[in-house]
Amino acid sequence: MSSGYEPIDNYQIASFIAGGGSSQVFEVIEPGTNRRLAMKLINNDHPDVKEHKASLKAEAAVCKALDHPNVIHYEGFTNGREFTYMLMEYFRAPTLKVQLKLDVIGVHLRMKRLIEGVCAALQHVHDRGFIHRDMKPENVLMNKAGEVRLIDFSLACRMKSGLAALFSGKQSQIQGTRTYIAPETIRKQMPVLQTDLYSLGVLLYEVLTGKTPFQAPTPNELLQKHLSATPPNASEFNPNVTPEMDRLIAKLLSK
């Protein structure tokens, strides 16, 4: 059955997965093998197409350096005359964000597997010398068996250390998602391990309570809360949260 899309470099498009203005993600069928893969394809009609191609190339380099069962597997990158795309394993599962809206009970039943998978993925990313910089439920996939994949390394960067970290200047702009953004990112400081750990704390809090630790009527007030506010313990909203988990989240969210 045709999906209605034209093939991309002989890859048959099976379905549309997600996308925005700069790129789309498709489920594709690899020619010759019939393997199903995920393809992140740059939109050539976007006015900033050159920057987005460079960004995808950088993301592909990060993904290529990673090899872990809880990190989406890199399959290749093409920057051709007609198409620019990255290929990844096709992992059939909704994002954690979708599951928190539609099946929060199922998420809680798989909570142990979720935490283990996300933490193992993040540990591998850090061990390989990278910082993800966009940890959030939209970037975590989990299937019914509790298998987890960390995705979207479009904001990932190399970890700086030693003199490079000491003499690094401020970031030119704030990058990340405001709901999950770390204080040092708001201050435009260089990202560090804690940048991801803070966002992980926000993610765990949301999974356990159904709400994020900080809410505000305006974006700037939300950023100010990330800088200075202390949220109530997750156990105040979910009596099943243990004191140990409260302490862990508080440590992750420390300023």
pLDDT value for 105? 95
b/e map 26-50, b = 16+ CB within 10 Å? bbbbbeeeeebbbbbbbeeeeeeee
Same domain, 66 and 145: no
Which two three-digit tokens encode residue 176?
């990340």
Model pLDDT, residue 21 = 82
Across the beta sheet with 84-89, the strand order is: 12-19, 23-29, 36-42, 84-89, 74-79
The secondary element (H helix, E strand) that includes residue 56 is: helix 49-64
* Same structural domain, 139 and 49: no
Looking at the fold, whether 85 and 103 belong to one and the same domain comes out as no
Question: 134 catalytic, yes or no?
Answer: yes
Domain C-terminal end among 37, 71, 89: 89
**Are residues 166 and 217 in contact, defined by beta-carbon separation less than 8 angstroms?**
no
Task: Please say whether the beta carbons of 203 and 197 come within 8 A.
Answer: no
Q: Are residues 149 and 225 in the same domain?
A: yes
pTM of the model: 0.92
Asked if residue 62 and residue 182 are part of one domain, the reply reads no
Residue 3 lies in a domain: no
**Cα 19 to Cα 83, 122, 251, distances in angstroms:** 16, 24, 34
Task: Catalytic residue, from 9, 103, 127, 134: name it.
Answer: 134
| 196: nearest Cα among 142, 123, 248, 245 | 123
User: Residue 67 belongs to a domain with what CATH number?
Assistant: 3.30.200.20
Tell me which residue has tokens 């202390």: 230
Burial letters for 116-137: b for 16+ Cβ neighbours within 10 Å, e otherwise? Answer: ebbebbbebbeeeebbbbbbbb
Determine the structural domain holding residue 189 and report its residue range: 96-252
How many whole angstroms separate alpha carbon 96 and alpha carbon 151?
A: 11
Predicted confidence at residue 2, as pLDDT, reads 57
Q: What is the chain's pLDDT, residue by residue, as a tens digit (255 residues)? A: 456 789 999 999 999 999 888 999 999 999 999 999 999 999 998 989 999 999 999 999 999 999 999 999 999 999 999 999 999 999 999 999 999 999 999 999 999 999 999 999 999 999 999 999 999 999 999 999 999 999 999 999 999 775 444 444 455 566 679 999 999 999 999 999 999 999 999 999 999 999 999 999 999 999 999 999 999 999 999 999 999 999 999 999 998
Same domain, 24 and 106: no
Residue 194 and residue 74 in one domain: no
Q: Last residue of some domain: 41, 69, 89?
A: 89
Nearest to 200 by CA among 146, 128, 148: 148
Indicate if 144 and 68 belong to the same structural domain. no
CA distances from 250 to 18, 90, 189, 205, 253 (A): 33, 35, 22, 10, 5
